[in-house]
Amino acid sequence: DKKFETLLTHLEKNQLVDYVKKLESGTFFAPDNDAFKQTNIDIDRSTLLYHIIKKGIKANVFYQGQLRETMLVRPGYLVPDNNSGAGQRIKFTIDGKQVFVNQAKIISSDIQVNNETYIQVVDRVLEPPSLLGNAITKESNQIVHKLLKSTDILHLLDQKKPFTVFLTTKTDPLDKFNSIESSYLTSEHGKVDLSLYFQYTIIDKAIFLDEFNSGKTTYKSLSGDSLVITSDKKSMAVNDIPIKQADIIAANGVIHLIEDSFRPPSIQFDTKKYLYGSNATHMVNLMDTYHLTDHYLNTTKHKFTFLVPPLNTVNQSTFSEPWLRYHIIRDAWPQESLEDALLLQSEFKSPELDGMRQKLPVSVDSHSTSIYFDHARAIGESINIQGNLIYQISDPLELPGDIFEKLVLDLDLSTFIATLYVSEVIEEIKSTHGLTLFVPTNEAFQNLGLVAKYLVHSTAKPQLKAVLRYHAVKSLLYYEDMKKRVHEINTLANATLRISQQDDKTVIVGRPDARERPAVLSHPNLLVSNGVVHKISEVQIPPHINITNQNLLVGIESKVMMQLLEKANLLDTIDQDNMVVLAPSDKAFSHLNLEELLKDQYQLERIVKLHIIPTAWQNRWIVQQNNKQDRRSEYATLLSEDDKVAIRENEKGELFAEVKNGGDNDRARVVGLGRVSSGGGVIEIDRVLLPIRRGLFGLPFVWSVVVTLTIVIIVGGVLSVVGFFGYKVYSRRKLGYRPIF
């Protein structure tokens, strides 16, 4: 037949004419001349043998999906040692009445050579199948192919030995994994597991489902896991996943397309892999660098919480082992266990804390339910893996810094900072490991009044040091610790400080003897490199520090008042218990003739004594009576019970001191207050109070004159009346008059 001239030429060229003649039975799928014109493949012996099957079969016998073994045998490709079934397969598809062999259509069928041999004319040259690596490239989608290329699987499938591959048709072949697991598998670090994923889909033998007996058979995949193939000729499945298209033939095996994807049990995820998948490769690399991987990632003994900042937010020059450990929290802390103001224990054991773990503060916004680790916001939900938790955070954490670098940022503590520098205690505070520091606010120092002025005076340096050291404890006390029980602890001043919780849940700090007003803990748990800082509302004076009225006068530099007190021999008196000194400033004394006053001992003593009130210090100088606040209270002075000083308060709350009955000219503004250890104190005023001049009966001079004149008038009147009647009696007797009765 002339239409087979090209075929005959190729048979002769490849010395297959005699081979074909000797076939006792078979089917030859013979391309016509036009088929050869359309092909661009090399026609060799293998190609021609691929067109011949051993058994003679008529076209009406072929069915959809049928496989037939050809005369082309590639040693080891489909079965070992050229055993039965070694021939390359062809596949038949039926489209209506049309029969196709691979992609070639049978255009003339059943040309009978003899009873056992037929020629089926096809319109294309049958191309022998390529290796699985190339076949998968054609059959897989772009994503699957990209993943395969990132592993060694394609190279494996190009080996000259049999394989069966179950290839998913899903766009995302890793949809059985969550986003973190998928991210890990597609990363550089997940190549081994990604390869294991594809190995799970491969069996190291060619299993053609058209040749598969009905029933269930278990095979071992290349990953070592089991794959169960079931078939009832109507439907086929692998591990209960339906096979969408079976028997896509390849030179060294077969591909079956499945509708779903696998999750191989041999792929096990751990914390390290989840960190890779959470874009925390930098954290894992750091653990490797500092030899911490085994302790934190390869252990099940302890559970941890990992805080992972994005790499692009991290200054890599800050990377260090302490920095890394500060991002690892001891124990697993799920979101529901995190509370506002909670302190978590990091894995950083700081030498500056005497080996104790540095804490990490947590804040929870009740309105937005946002969680913050220090100033870093938690992004999304926590990730649980093997009992460990991973939080992705917005920014890297900063290790608690130098104590003074922290304190200077709070303007409310500027007075305390200044006193530390003045006293030269700063280095002692910085060098103390495991420190708890109670820092009074600026308002607390204002509450000290004149005592604060004295403490910063050059002569009070030892006392200032003692006061500051009294606020420092060489022991870590966090807010939660102080709430649990009463603490009496020794301070750097070698004096005891008492810490306790009140019924209203506030924590107070003060002296054990309670002689000073205790301080309320207002802002706790400011973490620093060598300890913790708590803001308190009052400055505490240690019991062994005795601050006197003389000290306060020195502090306000009331030199003239000190001179007058010494001249009046009252310096020791003012330091007795419960003595309050009204101390005019030196400027106030400039309005007096001080030289004349120093010569007049009597007047000097009167003025000085008028400025001394023998009474205990009053927290409220205006005494409240009958539930109505009287804006004026009177206090007797050392001068006399009659020479009183009144303390007056105006609508603005300003205090004034005035001499009782002294008039407006004897009124001074109170510019400062300060209580001393003996129960008294100093009231600084801007004007000297002058005692009232007293006459007879100890009354003020004017009243003495008035009373004297009144007495003179009364006595004069009485004498006049007596004289008048006496004169009458005398006159009558002299004239001889006698009574007639």
3-state secondary structure 286-333: HHHHCCCHHHHHCCCCCCEEEEECCHHHCCHHHCCHHHHHHCEEECCC
Q: Which of 326, 531, 524 is nearest to 433 (CA)?
A: 531
pLDDT of 164 strictly over 70: yes
The topology (CATH level 3) of 132-258 is: FAS1 domain (2.30.180)
Question: Which pair of tokens denotes residue 62?
Answer: 């072929």
Distance between CA atoms of 455 and 660, rounded to whole angstroms?
34
Tens digits of per-residue pLDDT, 321-372?
999 999 999 999 999 999 999 999 999 999 999 999 999 999 998 777 899 9
Residues with Cβ within 8 Å of residue 465, at least 6 apart in sequence = 423, 424, 425
Give me the torsion for CA of 247, 253, 255, 256, rounded to 10°.
50
- The pLDDT, as a whole number, for residue 631 is 80
User: Tens of pLDDT along 165-185?
Assistant: 999 999 899 999 999 999 999
Strand, helix or coil for residue 712: helix
Which helix H or strand E contains 98, and what residues bound it?
A: strand 98-101
Quote the pLDDT of residue 234: 78
Distance CA 607, CA 581 (A): 12
Fold topology of 403-536:
FAS1 domain (2.30.180)
**pLDDT number for residue 714:** 83
DSSP H helical ranges for 671-700: none
- Which whole number is the average pLDDT over 716-739? 72
Q: pLDDT at position 739, please?
A: 58
Q: Please state which of the ranges 337-341, 597-601, 720-724 shows the lowest mean pLDDT.
A: 720-724
* Distances from the Cα of 592 to the Cα of 252, 587, 601, 692, angstroms: 120, 10, 15, 16
Give pLDDT, residue 21.
87
pLDDT computed for residue 74 by the predictor: 92
State mean pLDDT over 395-419. Answer: 94
Report residue 46 as tokens: 């293998």
Q: What is the pLDDT of residues 464-480, one digit of tens each?
A: 999 999 999 999 999 99
State the maximum Cα–Cα separation within the chain, in Å, rounded to a whole number: 209
Interstrand relation of 472-473 and 435-440 (parallel, antiparallel or unpaired): antiparallel
CATH of 549-619+629-692, one of 2.60.120.10, 3.40.605.10, 3.30.70.330, 2.30.180.10: 2.30.180.10
Cα(677)–Cα(172) distance, rounded to whole angstroms? Answer: 80
Q: Whole-angstrom Cα distance, residue 478 to residue 480? A: 6
Please compute the mean of the pLDDT values over residues 207-226 and round it to a whole number: 92
Instruction: Give burial (CB, 10 Å; 0-12/13-18/19+) of 505.
Output: exposed
The CATH homologous superfamily for domain 271-393 is FAS1 domain (2.30.180.10)
Residue type, 656: F
- The residue-averaged pLDDT of 476-496 equals 94
Instruction: Indicate the burial class of 373 (C-beta count within 10 angstroms; 0-12, 13-18, 19 or more).
Output: buried
CATH tag for 2-122 (out of 2.30.180.10, 3.20.20.150, 3.30.380.10, 2.40.50.180): 2.30.180.10
Residues making up the chain, counted from first to last: 741
Q: Give CA–CA dist 378/217, Å, rounded.
A: 49
Asked if domains 271-393 and 549-619+629-692 share a fold, the reply is: yes
Say how many C-beta atoms besides its own lie within 10 A of residue 312's C-beta: 6
Q: What pLDDT is recorded for position 263?
A: 95
Q: Enumerate the domain spans of the chain.
A: 2-122, 132-258, 271-393, 403-536, 549-619+629-692, 700-735
Across 687-694, average pLDDT: 86
pLDDT tier, 732 (very low <50, low <70, confident <90, very high otherwise): low
Mean pLDDT over all residues of the chain? 91
pLDDT above 80: residue 663: no
**Residue 565 backbone class (left: φ over 0; alpha: ψ -120 to 50; beta: rest):** alpha
